[in-house]
Amino acid sequence: MVDLKTLEPSSVWGHFDEIRRTPRTSKNEEAMRQYVKKVAERNNLSYKEDSIGNIVVTVPATSGKENSPIVVLQSHLDMVCEKDPGVEHDFDKDPIQVTQKGEYLYAVGTTLGADNGIGVAIELAVMDKKDWQHGPIECLFTIDEETGLTGAKELDASIVTGKILINLDTEEHRMIYVGCAGGGDTIMTLDTKKSELPQGFTAMEVTISGLKGGHSGCDIHVGKGNAVKILARILWSLRQEHSLYLNKFIGGDKHNAIPRNAVAIVAIADDKRSVFVDACNTKLNNIKDEFGHIEPDLAITITDTECSEVLVEGDSDKVLMLLVTLPHGVLAMNPDIGDLVNTSNNLAKVHCEGNKCLVQTSTRSSLKEALENTREQIAASGQFVGAVVEQEEAYPGWKPDLSSPILQKVKEQYRETFGEEPEVKAIHAGLECGVIGEKIPGMDMVSIGPQIENPHSPSERVHIQSVAEFWKVFCQILEKI
């Protein structure tokens, strides 16, 4: 364990130390809301809340800065809660255990929650800070970003006064983000029937593990493996030559995390057991060649197990066919910005057990037409096998405005502080800026932050020194607006 309060800036890390101890699963942010209010009250700062649970804390301007424009700082209170297999951790009550390795801070076996806990800690440090000059500030804390941008979507715009917004949910240090993708989820539910395990068949558990996982927006272009797709691909391939029945298929957990693990219980003819095992291993080795250094720890485990029931043959085929045909990964790149993904899909979650099979996908695109077209294709795949398809209204993207006044201010300060021209980018992930900008027309926005890597997975880490560097330039920006 590392003592976070010994890190610099101590004000930011001190708050992050409290944040890591506070439960903040999506839709369960009340303890974090209370902590925000506690910090506001001890600094004699007023705050407003809306009916959904968002909070705005007002930090008055210092003397002589009263006529400066109001700047809204924004971060979200919840975190993605993922853990490694075999790790016992209750995110609703257990503190995140942290460790330092070289220049980075990690969690032990779970997501760290630097996304967006560092942004929250920075806002709280702003509320505490006394030794500086600044204009009026509004600290906006939203809820339930990770499961559907609920706080931003339901934001009561009347609690926000400012028209300049700095979002603190970007994870690349010294980069300035001015645009993001929109997105929407699809949930497919397939009713299935079961029958007794056929005579002469044996049950086997097949597990895909060792994948890195990651954020389905930030990491989708890397080409990381999806455990659900890999397992479905292997089983469907073997189904072409052998009778195969599913008992269950489970993989993935969060709509915005690439599945790292997946497990299926299948029934195969007794006399085909060794052939099945050999074929699974051969197929997996061939697939590993496709990923190369990206997924060096990809592994398959096949063990004997027991089950008394299996899906009837037709329903087993429907489940596998759906998982094989649903898209995953990058679907289109931006033709004008070479490294920017335009459209992608994450086959995020599968839970087939009992008499129902639930499949969830998360689609992103910076283009509304491409987004809806992809979601229509996904819906068609679900409907083809008889699934009930539900699609919520997609959230909007954020169109870049390179003439933005706040962008010019941030670029100027980055140049002065770091001695080089900052890179201005758009991100394929969904930021709350697009939704907030639609809620509050005319909002001038940028998104910035320190270096956070591998969010939404237990490999998540934050570069410690980048937090100190970011805090310095961030305070300089607020002083000069």
Q: From the CB of residue 455, how many other CB atoms can be counted at a distance below 10 Å?
A: 29
- 94 among known catalytic residues: no
The helix-helix angle for 273-291 and 227-239 (nearest 10°) equals 140
Pairing of strands 71-76, 137-142: parallel
Catalytic residue among 18, 145, 171, 185: 145
Q: Which residue of the set 78, 123, 295, 460 is catalytic?
A: 78
88 catalytic per annotation: no
The residue among 180, 151, 184 whose CA lies nearest residue 394 is 184
Active-site residues: which are they? 78, 145
